[in-house]
Amino acid sequence: MRLRLSTRAALVTCAALLLGCDGKPKECQRFIGTVNKTLREIDARPQPKADDVAAVAAHRQALAEKYEALAEDVAKLKLSEPALVDRAQRYSGLAKAAGAALTAGVQALKAGDPKAADASQKQFDGVAQQEAALVREINELCLKDGG
């Protein structure tokens, strides 16, 4: 069961972004640093056993809180580059959507509703796909023209 937005891929891409942000270094670095900090925390969390419903629910709740905090942290960034502002807003929205999908999964697990739990997982997986595409856009933006 996959419970992370492509954190490993995002971390690798975001590390590459840090090296490529020459023209907009502070804004790229602040944005990427904010995202990386939370993604590292999420990635470091041990996965519970799939058959321990209570542990899975608690794990998803903790992840939901991390994604909601990430959404807030990204939204608070003071960025001036319009294209980066747009992508930060979109990333914040995706982090909120990830948190909402995880929260729905927690509620479904607690209610003993496997169909709803599966639906929330599919919703989360859809957010993960959107996040991967957005990371590529951010990568291109920060590397474009050396900035």
Residues 3, 60: contact at Cβ < 8 Å?
Answer: yes
| CA 109 – CA 42 distance, rounded (Å) | 20
Q: How many domains does the chain have?
A: 1
What's the pLDDT score for residue 147? 53
Nearest-angstrom CA–CA distance, 96 and 71:
6
**CA geometry: angle 35, 49, 43, nearest 5 deg:** 15
pLDDT at 13 over 80: no
Written as one letter, the residue type at 51 is D
Contact criterion met (CB below 8 Å) for 50 and 1: yes
More confident residue, 37 or 18: 37
Q: For the chain, what is the total number of helices (H) and then of strands (E)?
A: 5, 0
In a domain, 36, yes or no: yes
Q: Is 71 part of a structural domain of the chain?
A: yes
Q: Please report which confidence band the pLDDT of residue 19 belongs to, taking 50, 70 and 90 as the band edges.
A: very low
Chain segment 109-138, per-residue pLDDT in tens: 999 999 999 999 999 999 999 999 999 999
Residue-number span of the structural domain to which 61 is assigned: 7-146
What does 104-118 look like in DSSP terms, one character per residue? Answer: HHHHHHHHT-HHHHH
- For residue 1, tell me if it sits in a domain: no
Is residue 131 included in any domain, yes or no?
Answer: yes
State what percent of residues in the chain have pLDDT above 90: 73
Strands, E, within 14-144: which ranges?
Answer: none
Q: Is residue 2 part of a domain?
A: no
pTM for the predicted model, two decimal places? 0.81
